[in-house]
């Protein structure tokens, strides 16, 4: 690992710069949109919403946007590691978030909160190990592996919990933690910021993060330069399951309840935010900041659509189109820059 970090010949995975003789204006625009677009689009969307959408800028609504963005944002920030390492996604976050939430409230009701947190973290290590060993060591396809662990995990959770809803004690520690606010910013958003800072540092400033990105750009080259690649994949999955479990805690604290179906749609929802943020599903390219921007963009957009009276069906259509659009721009920019 050290050997690799010192070597200047392994270029950091940045996208191709336009040639000096210069592509056409349309090509430049495409490249720009693929590289920096998400920052501008997010800012423009927020400004337009503040100016033109009634009720967007109210404290209640902003707090609501934060609340909806935070848990899925924490999941997405963690899953960024799996995506950048070139392993598509971790579908089992659905099961992990729900398991974290149910264990936090269920076990803390019967035992105590520290024991609940320990149990939940232990379970998240099991998830990370199973996914990471199957994908890293067995080179099995991540989609199928995490699809099966989702089913095993959700099946176990529903069987053991009886599918019932767990309520935390009224005015207990969990509920009062969920109610903490800094102005309009709820604690869940602060947790998101902390997780994003820690994982952002890990991804862009440490050896491990460098190796994750290198592995995503070129698996064979990374292996041949002496990196223990299966461990890298295992690490990426462990980080994802830690983040998912923390998201489960945040989700449970917010409503002071937990049920096995509370995280439905988090798998593709988190992936949508990652892709819209501009992280490449081919691996190697992307950052935690991009994921956070993607989450903010999707959450603000969804909120604006809800405020404007657009139904759930059209919201889904909008998110689906955005995914395809974001990746199409990236693919076209790639084609253009090759010419």
Partner 1 sequence: MSTPHGINFGEAPARTRVDQLRRTLGRRTEGRAVALLAVVLVVALVMEPLVFSAYPVTLSRVALVGLVALGLTVVILMGELDLSVASTVVLAGVMMAQTDNVALGVLLALGTGVAVGLVNAFFVVKVGINSFIATLGMLFVLKGLAIVISRSEPIPLENITFAIQFGLPIVGPLTPRIVIFVLAFVLLHLFLTRMRAGREFYAVGGNRQAARDAGIPVDRRLVTGFVMCSVIAAGAGAIDTLERTAADPTAGSTVLLSSFAAAIIGGVALTGGRGSILGTLIGAFSLGTLEVGLTLTGVQVDIQQIYIGGVLLLAVMTDPASLRAARSSLRTSLHGVRARSTDRGLT
Label each residue of 1-43 as H, E or C: CHHHHHCCCCCCCCCCCCCCCCCCHHHHHHHHHHHHHHHHHHH
**CB of residue 329 to partner 1, shortest distance in Å:** 10
Task: Report H helices in the chain.
Answer: 2-6, 25-52, 59-84, 93-110, 113-132, 142-161, 173-178, 187-205, 207-217, 219-224, 229-255, 266-276, 288-307, 312-338
Could you say whether residue 155 binds partner 1 (CB under 8 A)? yes
From the CB of residue 167, how many other CB atoms can be counted at a distance below 10 Å?
Answer: 16
Listed ranges 26-34, 142-150, 192-200, 299-307: which one lies at the site for partner 1 (CB under 8 A): 142-150
Consecutive H or E run containing 182: strand 181-182
Between CA 184 and CA 67 the distance in angstroms is: 11
Please count the residues of this chain forming the interface with partner 1, following the rule CB under 8 A: 60
Letters for 78-117 (x = contact with partner 1 by CB under 8 A, - = none) are ----------x-----------------------------
By the rule CB under 8 A, 29 interacts with partner 1: no
Please pick, from the candidates 78, 100, 106, 136, the single residue that binds partner 1 as defined by CB under 8 A: 136
Q: Residues 1, 129, 158, 204: which binds partner 1 (CB under 8 A)?
A: 158
- Applying CB under 8 A, among 319, 333, 336, 337 the residue interacting with partner 1 is 319
- By CB under 8 A, tell whether 224 contacts partner 1: yes
| Binding flag, residue 316, partner 1 (CB under 8 A) | yes
What does the alpha-carbon distance between residue 241 and residue 121 come to, in Å, rounded to a whole number?
9
314: contact with partner 1 by CB under 8 A: yes
What would the DSSP string read from start to end of 196-211? HHHHHHHHHHSHHHHH
Nearer to partner 1, 184 or 332 (CB): 332
Q: For residue 99, which of 286, 270, 241, 233 has the smallest C-alpha distance?
A: 241
In this complex, which beta carbon is closest to partner 1, that of residue 7 or of residue 141? 141
Residues that bind partner 1 (CB under 8 A): 88, 130, 134, 136-141, 143-145, 147-156, 158-159, 163, 220, 223-224, 226, 228-231, 268, 271-272, 275, 281-282, 311-324, 327-328, 330-332, 334-335
């Amino acid at each position: 690992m050290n050997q690799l970090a010192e070597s200047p010949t392994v270029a950091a995975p940045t996208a191709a710069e336009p040639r000096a003789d210069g592509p056409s204006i349309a090509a430049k625009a495409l490249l720009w949109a693929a590289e920096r677009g998400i920052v501008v689009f997010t800012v423009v969307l927020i400004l337009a919403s503040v100016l033109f959408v009634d009720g967007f800028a109210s404290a209640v609504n902003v707090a609501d946007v934060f609340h909806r963005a935070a848990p899925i944002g924490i999941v997405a920030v963690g899953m960024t590691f799996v995506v950048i390492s070139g392993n598509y996604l971790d579908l089992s976050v659905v099961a992990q978030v729900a398991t974290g939430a149910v264990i936090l409230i269920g076990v803390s009701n019967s035992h105590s909160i520290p024991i609940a947190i320990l149990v939940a973290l232990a379970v998240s290590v099991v998830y990370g190990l199973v996914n990471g060993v199957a994908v890293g060591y067995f080179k099995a396809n991540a989609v199928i592996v995490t699809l099966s662990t989702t089913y095993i995990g959700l099946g176990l959770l529903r069987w053991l919990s009886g599918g019932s809803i767990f309520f935390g004690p009224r005015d207990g520690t969990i509920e009062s933690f969920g109610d903490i606010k800094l102005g309009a910013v709820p604690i869940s958003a602060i947790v998101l910021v902390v997780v994003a800072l820690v994982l952002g540092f890990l991804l862009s400033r440490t050896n491990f993060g460098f190796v994750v990105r290198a592995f995503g750009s070129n698996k064979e080259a990374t292996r041949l330069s002496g990196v223990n690649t299966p461990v890298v994949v295992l690490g990426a999955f462990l980080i994802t399951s830690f983040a998912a479990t923390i998201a489960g805690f945040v989700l449970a604290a917010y409503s002071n309840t937990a049920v096995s179906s509370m995280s439905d749609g988090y798998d593709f929802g988190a992936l949508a935010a990652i892709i819209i943020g501009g992280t490449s599903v081919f691996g190697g390219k992307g950052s935690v900041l991009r994921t956070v921007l993607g989450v903010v963009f999707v959450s603000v957009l969804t909120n604006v659509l809800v405020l404007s009276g657009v139904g759930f069906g059209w919201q889904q259509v909008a998110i689906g189109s955005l995914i395809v659009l974001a990746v199409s721009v990236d693919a076209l920019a790639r084609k253009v820059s090759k010419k």
